[in-house]
Amino acid sequence: MPTERYYVTTPIYYVNDRPHIGHLYTTTVADVLARYHRLKGDDVFFLTGVDEHAAKVSDAAAERGLTPQQWADQNAAVFQETFARLQMTNNDFVRTSQERHKAKVTAYVAALLKSGDVYAGEYEGWYDAGQEEYVTDSKAQEYGFKSPINGKPLVRKKEKNYFFKLESYREAVATAIRAGEFSVRPEARCNEILNRLAEAKDVPISRTGTGGWGIPVPGDPDQTIYVWIDALFNYLTYVDTPERRPYWEAGVTNLIAKDILWFHAAIWPALLLALKKCPGYEWVRLPRGVYAHSFWISEGQKMSKSLGNFVDLARIDHYISTFSLDALRYFLATQGPLGTTDADFAEAKFIEVYNTDLANTLGNCFSRISNMTNRYFAGRVPSPAAAVAESQPYGHGAEEALAAFTKALEGIDLAGGGAAAQGLIRSIDNYIEQTAPFKLAKDAANLPRVGTILYHCAEAMRIASLLLWPVIPHKCEEIWRRMGLDYAQQMQASAGRGQLAQWCQWGQLQPGATIAQGDPLFPRYQAPK
């Protein structure tokens, strides 16, 4: 089978502050997708990083008596270390202050100036400094001339600006969205974009008075390229090299949240269509699509520092040390706001999901299998030779689970993927209840049947561990170690790529292989009194 390429990105996060659960969430979703595609055998490029040239970064730096670069360096390092510590498998880390990014952005904007899709003009309007964004007059009025984000007054600004001819591309973008050539998901978000596109005007793409923090407009050093244009281009600059260009050509999937959909679903594709017309850039194409999830709220309310419900790094570390990194990943992936409604990060819910899915279902089921194998078969996988009258020919459940899992992951439905794997484990539990090997084993004459039953259970568990690996890789690798399975080594030996479909075929577990006992994978959590 020819290798497919898969290119996935997260937004690049502002470095004015430290990472919080929202940043961790999008990066976790991207990591799960990247791992899934690698497990399937795809050649994956996964990009995340930070957005540095924002006024709020230079403002925050000034408050601390630092240069913007010093402040950006400090916070970029925190993001980078955090993602590394949480074992994100991104292939590179964007920093927009890096030369390799700035040089490409300069070249793109120079090409657009030359083609006429970027031109000089003047702009006057209401500016929201918190969002780094102009708002329309009617929106400004609706907001009471205050930022809907931070409540600070909007500022009336007039400046010489370079504009991008968004109006010339709005029809082409809308057509690409309608045709599915550039997909905007979840689908419910499409109309919002199509309506707004129909009215879109040319947009300013430069700023003055940034104190030199940013990328200068080529040929006009008094003007700085607007931070949003600089930032959007990261998805292209970091793969615009001979080795990486094939990832771009495969079509990027941009994961974001709903707050920045307009930039990604309208301005970004329009910029690319304009660049594609410039000499030397014919290879530029539209992204495969953009996926905009909703927001995490916390304990039923919008996250805010003053309410004390902010899920910051300290809280994140608390969850990891209490429940494990995989438990946090599992909660984020399966309970997260991938759809159009916000999701609640609530401790009680976290504990419930942890105990139900991870401790009682997965952990407990694996313990039962390894304990019985050790008790009745000295820790060796028994042979499945004997007939088991009580059960259907086993293995069907696994095939269906793989199909459901694959369909869900291809559609960025991580809850659906988790449910498919959980369903398979529950079916093992039901099978154990139904066939009662622990009762049968009391009579030595039944041991061949018990062996067949346990083989089926262990084999289904092997497959479930493959399906769960993208979400809870560390615990699944622990299962593999205990079962003597070398998928991690095989992937490592093939540039990180696996063979999900082949590995999930029924019957590959070898009778005689060891199943080691060990500590519970996910000890049941009891809240301290």
List interacting residues with ligand MSP (CB under 6 A).
11-14, 22-23, 25-26, 51, 231-232, 256-257, 259-260, 295-296, 303
Tokens of 69: 């670069």
Tokens of 345: 């990060």
Tokens of 194: 């199509």
Q: State in angstroms the smallest separation of the CB of 9 from ligand MSP.
A: 8
Q: State in angstroms the smallest separation of the CB of 486 from ligand MSP.
A: 36
Residue number of the CB closest to ligand MSP reads 22
CA–CA distance, 299 with 279 (Å, rounded to integer):
53
Determine the Cα angle at 239 with ends 68 and 49, to 5°: 35
Q: State in angstroms the smallest separation of the CB of 27 from ligand MSP.
A: 8
Tokens of 379: 């820790």
Q: What letter represents residue 481's amino acid? A: R
Please name the residues in contact with 270: beta carbons below 8 A apart, sequence gap of 6 or more: 164, 166, 169, 170, 172, 173
Q: State in angstroms the smallest separation of the CB of 366 from ligand MSP.
A: 32
- Residue closer to ligand MSP, measured from CB, 215 or 256: 256
What is the secondary structure of 322-366 as a DSSP string? HH-HHHHHHHHHHHS--SSS-EEE-HHHHHHHIIIIIIIIIIHHH
Q: State in angstroms the smallest separation of the CB of 267 from ligand MSP.
A: 10
- Residue closer to ligand MSP, measured from CB, 165 or 293: 293
Sign of CA dihedral 322, 22, 471, 491: negative
Please name the residues in contact with 83: beta carbons below 8 A apart, sequence gap of 6 or more: 19, 27, 48, 90, 93
Q: State in angstroms the smallest separation of the CB of 257 from ligand MSP.
A: 3
Q: State in angstroms the smallest separation of the CB of 109 from ligand MSP.
A: 16
- Residue closer to ligand MSP, measured from CB, 258 or 380: 258
Q: State in angstroms the smallest separation of the CB of 226 from ligand MSP.
A: 12
CA–CA distance, 112 with 119 (Å, rounded to integer):
9
CA–CA distance, 108 with 105 (Å, rounded to integer):
5
- Residue closer to ligand MSP, measured from CB, 244 or 426: 244
Q: What letter represents residue 445's amino acid? A: A
Question: Hey, which residues does 291 pair with through a beta bridge?
Answer: 185, 255
SS3 at position 380: strand
Sign of CA dihedral 415, 421, 424, 425: negative
CA distances 12 to 15, 27, 49, 256, Å, are: 9, 10, 5, 9
DSSP-assigned letter for residue 264: I
- Residue closer to ligand MSP, measured from CB, 92 or 282: 92
- Residue closer to ligand MSP, measured from CB, 296 or 405: 296
Q: State in angstroms the smallest separation of the CB of 268 from ligand MSP.
A: 8
- Residue closer to ligand MSP, measured from CB, 30 or 450: 30
Q: State in angstroms the smallest separation of the CB of 450 from ligand MSP.
A: 48
CA–CA distance, 229 with 109 (Å, rounded to integer):
9
- Residue closer to ligand MSP, measured from CB, 166 or 231: 231
Q: State in angstroms the smallest separation of the CB of 431 from ligand MSP.
A: 38
- Residue closer to ligand MSP, measured from CB, 27 or 422: 27
Q: State in angstroms the smallest separation of the CB of 182 from ligand MSP.
A: 16
- Residue closer to ligand MSP, measured from CB, 79 or 405: 79
- Residue closer to ligand MSP, measured from CB, 147 or 422: 147
For 264-283, give one letter per residue: b (16+ CB within 10 A) or e: bbbbbbbbbbbbeebeebee
CA–CA distance, 176 with 167 (Å, rounded to integer):
15
- Residue closer to ligand MSP, measured from CB, 48 or 422: 48
Question: Hey, which residues does 9 pair with through a beta bridge?
Answer: 47, 254
